[in-house]
């Protein structure tokens, strides 16, 4: 068979450059053009595949370009919006640099840093920072409910929601992501829910506690004086339930394995990064695992919903025991969560005093969650408080804040 000489020459040319790429010293990255924080991160990225190292450098380059433009606009106009945006857009680099100074970063942490920077790069290339924190935005045409903060760019697309926090930019937040997935499933849109869960899977770390493997969705921004990273029982419980539902829907065992690893995270003590604290009311699921004295009612019950969904699919006795412990502590706390004309959002502090009255949304959510508990347990106490709190809501009109 006659070989085309041009084809042969092209093949040799390609092979030469592939071979040359392997001769480049793996531990030598041209990082002189990067900031000190970026250099610290890049020097810890050498265990990553070369393509992932290049992706990291690309998002750093784009972030530097955008931040320089924002800072120059601030100097030219003295408009503080540009300076706020300059600070926000680089926050995550500072966070991961501080972590990298202390230890190696995991592959999952590099993934989280990259997607967070991509979201911030996409946003800040066209916008300045929002005026208020806690804004939810998306870089996808899909969302489980109508949302105004939609930022569609050809450079970045993600099914995950992002949350804006002042001085911290746009952040990947597992709590919001699992909430969105649950809303997709509730509406019957399994395709969108599965797409979100599939993308979210990339950011679950698998860790070990006394020989037990468990999964965890860590958070990499500071909240209420937290350390970094931290995690929430809300996203852990909800994700365990959602991935078990995904398994039930697809029969793909990878989802069952993931949900099992997430349930195992409830075996980790709170002082080792776990989510359960012992209180005078019983075991409590912590929405913020770094605040063991802050007992949030809605986060506790929503965690239980995910655990219950997991139990329904798997029949796991450990999950049922977790759920039953949550039922008991909820029953015990209800009298102290009731102000006499409204529900409190949480009990807080060493003495577990009422934190503040829930706003309309959370009070209504309390009614919904207690009604759900009644439907699963047939315990009349939950029905009693659901009806009482619903009466508070109806009597208040729209004036209660």
Residues 276, 284: Cα–Cα separation, whole Å:
5
Q: Which residue has tokens 């804006």?
A: 164
Structure token digits, residue 264: 């195992």
- Residue 24's CB: how many other CB atoms inside 10 A? 9
Residues 75, 222: Cα–Cα separation, whole Å:
28
DSSP code for 201: G
Q: What pLDDT is recorded for position 192? A: 97
* 154 in Cβ contact with 194 (< 8 Å): no
Phi-psi region of 217 (alpha: psi -120 to 50; beta: other; left: phi over 0): beta
Which helix (H) or strand (E) segment holds residue 193: the answer is helix 190-200
Task: Give the domain CATH number at 239.
Answer: 1.50.10.20
Asked, for residue 237, whether it belongs to a domain, the answer is yes
Asked, for residue 39, whether it belongs to a domain, the answer is no
Provide the domain count of the chain: 1
Residue 56 CB-density burial (10 A; 0-12 exposed, 13-18 middle, 19+ buried): buried
Residues 179, 147: Cα–Cα separation, whole Å:
14
* 285 in Cβ contact with 233 (< 8 Å): yes
- Residue 59's CB: how many other CB atoms inside 10 A? 19
Residues 350, 19: Cα–Cα separation, whole Å:
63
- Chunked into runs of 10 residues, the chain (401 residues) has average pLDDT values of 53 47 43 88 96 97 98 98 98 98 97 98 97 96 94 94 98 98 97 98 97 98 94 98 97 98 98 96 98 97 98 98 98 98 96 95 98 98 98 76 42
3-state secondary structure of 153: strand
Residues 53, 43: Cα–Cα separation, whole Å:
10
Residues 313, 306: Cα–Cα separation, whole Å:
11
3-state secondary structure of 62: helix
- Give me the sheet containing 353-354, strands edge to edge: 294-296, 346-348, 353-354
Asked, for residue 149, whether it belongs to a domain, the answer is no
- Residue 62's CB: how many other CB atoms inside 10 A? 18
Structure token digits, residue 91: 């926050």
Residues 340, 378: Cα–Cα separation, whole Å:
24
Asked, for residue 139, whether it belongs to a domain, the answer is no
Q: What pLDDT is recorded for position 33? A: 85
Structural domain boundaries enclosing 260:
204-401
Structure token digits, residue 330: 């909820």
Asked, for residue 76, whether it belongs to a domain, the answer is no
Residues 46, 200: Cα–Cα separation, whole Å:
24
Q: How far is CA 152 from CA 41, 156, 211, 308, in A?
A: 29, 8, 44, 36
Asked, for residue 155, whether it belongs to a domain, the answer is no
Asked, for residue 44, whether it belongs to a domain, the answer is no
Q: Which residue has tokens 């699992």?
A: 178
Q: What pLDDT is recorded for position 89? A: 98
Asked, for residue 323, whether it belongs to a domain, the answer is yes
Residues 347, 296: Cα–Cα separation, whole Å:
7
Residues 6+ apart with CB under 8 A from 20: none
């Amino acid at each position: 068979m006659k070989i085309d000489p041009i084809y042969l020459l092209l093949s040799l040319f390609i092979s030469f450059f592939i071979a040359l790429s392997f001769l480049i010293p793996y531990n030598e990255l041209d990082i002189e053009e990067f900031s000190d924080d970026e250099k610290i991160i890049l020097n810890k990225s050498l265990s990553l595949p070369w393509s992932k190292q290049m992706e990291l450098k690309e998002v750093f380059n784009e972030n530097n370009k955008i931040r320089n433009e924002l800072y120059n606009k601030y100097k030219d106009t003295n408009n503080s919006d540009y300076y706020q945006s300059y600070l926000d857009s680089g926050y995550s680099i500072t966070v991961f640099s501080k972590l990298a100074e202390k230890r190696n970063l995991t592959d999952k942490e590099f993934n989280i840093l990259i997607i967070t920077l991509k979201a911030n790069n996409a946003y800040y290339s066209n916008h300045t920072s929002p005026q208020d924190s806690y804004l939810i935005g998306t870089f996808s045409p899909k969302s489980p409910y109508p949302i105004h903060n939609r930022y569609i760019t050809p450079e970045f697309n993600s099914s995950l929601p992002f949350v804006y926090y002042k001085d911290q930019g746009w952040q990947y937040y597992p709590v919001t992501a699992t909430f969105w997935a649950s809303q997709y499933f509730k509406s019957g849109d399994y395709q969108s829910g599965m797409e979100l869960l599939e993308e979210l899977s990339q950011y679950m770390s698998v860790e070990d506690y006394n020989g037990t493997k468990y999964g965890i969705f860590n958070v990499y921004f500071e909240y209420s004086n937290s350390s970094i990273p931290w995690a929430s029982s809300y996203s852990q419980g909800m994700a365990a339930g959602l991935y078990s539902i995904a398994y039930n829907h697809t029969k793909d065992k990878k989802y069952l394995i993931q949900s099992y690893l997430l349930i195992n995270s409830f075996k980790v003590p709170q002082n080792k990064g776990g989510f359960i604290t012992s209180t005078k009311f019983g075991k409590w699921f912590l929405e913020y695992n770094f605040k063991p004295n802050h007992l949030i009612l809605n986060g506790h019950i929503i965690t239980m919903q995910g655990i219950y969904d997991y139990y329904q699919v798997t029949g796991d006795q450990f999950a049922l025991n977790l759920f039953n412990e949550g039922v008991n502590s909820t029953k015990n706390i209800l009298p102290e969560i009731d102000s006499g004309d409204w529900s409190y959002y949480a009990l807080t502090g060493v003495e577990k005093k009422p934190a503040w009255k829930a706003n309309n949304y959370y009070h209504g959510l309390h009614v919904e969650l207690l009604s759900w508990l009644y439907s699963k347990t047939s315990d009349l106490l939950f029905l009693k408080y659901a009806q009482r709190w619903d009466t508070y809501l109806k009597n208040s009109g729209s004036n209660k804040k």
